[in-house]
Structure 1
Amino acid sequence: MSFSKEAAMRTEAGTSSPDDGSLLHEAGVRRRLAVFIRRSPLFGVGMLLCLSILMIAAFAPLIAPYPEDAGTTVRFASRLQPPSAQFWFGTDEVGRDVLSRVLMGTQATIMMALTVLFISVLIGVPLGVIAGFWKIGMLSGTIMRVTEVFLAIPSLVFVLSVSALLGPSLPVTILAISLAWWTWYARLAYGETLLLQQQQFVDAARVAGASSLRIAFSEILPNLTSVLLVKITVDLGYVVLLGASLGFLGLGVQAPTPEWGVMIANGRELLPDAWWLVTFPGLAIVITVVAFNLLGDGISDFLSSAYD
């Protein structure tokens, strides 16, 4: 038998139903979401932008007008052409279509960010739950002291050091950011676990004879979903920004792979004449970061309103 926080709340209110396993019926959730989007248009904008970015990342080779320009294609006859009907975002120093490279760069950027967050959640959340649930003992203390050591080092400094030590590449970028990022999820899971284990649904599980391991990972862990969803959504934008910063500094993804930070670094040498080389990759970064922040803030507000 599984005791969730929502079920305990319904039981206290006398509204629990044997065939209702969630706080809201599915139709009610859709209704509430539609009303919330009407009241918070920025949330709708963020959701639309994020869906568009994910679709572009998934189908970039099919959308890009010149997908071959993601590699080492050279067209000196059309180099450094400004935006036009043929090349909407202009061309770079070797004649490659900037629009195609920005679209293809979305794929590499989003894949990198999703992989980093997957690894961070996979490492940080279980460790945080373990440290929070078994908060007395050497294991819990060791986990949190290691976490605090990593948190004491600025993320950018740590990531730059790892990238410089192991050599710039996409796998190293993912590894370096993941090593810096898991600590935030461990700390978050630790704090939430300390709060959740004091709730009545945990006491009910103990009375029912559930083991500590089952309570930690079958009762407490599922109730971290909402707060983790908000953090992951917001962190996507920050990881994209950090990955682009590494690419700009030459310690991330390397050319000729299309990556927004690398494109900006290459284009800055041709400013202000070839302004489009920096402008469009920069706009892609700004739109992506803003979109995921709007979505994360909206999800947080929506989940808060659902419990009111």
Structure 2
Amino acid sequence: MSENQTVLREAENKVIIEGTLLEKRLEEKEFNGQNGKRNAITGELDIETAENEVHTVRVFSFEKKVDGSDNGIFKGLKTVDNEYKSVAENGREEADKVRITQGQIGLNEYYGQDGMLRSFPQISANFINRVQAGEEFEPKAEFEIEAFIKSVSPEVKNEEETGRVKVEAIIPAYGGKVLPFSLMAPVEAAEYIEDNYEPGSTVKIYGDIINFKEKKVVLEDVAFGKPKEKVTYNTVREYLITGGSEPYEEENNKAYDVELIKKALTEREIYLAELKAKKDQPKQEEKKAGFNTKSNKTTEKKEKKKIDLPF
């Protein structure tokens, strides 16, 4: 492939959401970082695109840029917090309809108390606009990404293939980072993807973001007294492919180089190891506190794991 860079090119990564503002959970707080203490606004917005279909969007912005000038993103998010009306605060009739056109797919990753990595898709955005009166309102949640294909495999449920296919992809992000990401292709797209999306290829993929949760209550008969309620939830969360490009030609300078992907995955493993070590540190300190002895400080050398891709 013709990409001759030492850092991966950031992939196209766009999320479009249009719906009713269901709830705001925003707050201002102070962060202490490399550039000193800085005030910021952070939190989440819930946007409803259909009945039982809600998408959570993460927002964050410092009040001032590094050079001390005002940050327009912060100002815009303050307007959302102070002026936008949500169903939770103002009722459905008064709630604003909102539109996001430049959101991004990311990952929320952390280690749980059991030491296992938790990784969930996360949508973030800097700009949330109100749909004005008279404007066309078209509720939806869609994505458009460039991705490096890691694998394609049939979806299996109850030991039977469903006809759909699961696409394991890698999305190069800002600063050379990579996001391992799972997508699902419907039956009508499965054959093309299986035949053409080979591991190691670069493609552009379009689709719908599905986040459906339906509560079902069934009343069970009892011999006496009130009927017993049995509550179940039907939940579907997936990134469903609705279309895509042909794989980029090897000569295309946008096609990702396998070795650069491997290198980025190795750096990701190191990052995750450091994240886990940071999570485990309080436990280690707690154990040390139980002994009245001094321990020698040692320097651990991090070994880079070799990343083997299936091609």
TM-score calculated relative to the size of structure 2: 0.25
Q: Greater share of helix residues, 1 or 2?
A: 1
Tell me which protein shows more strand as a share of its residues.
2
TM-score by length of structure 1 reads 0.25
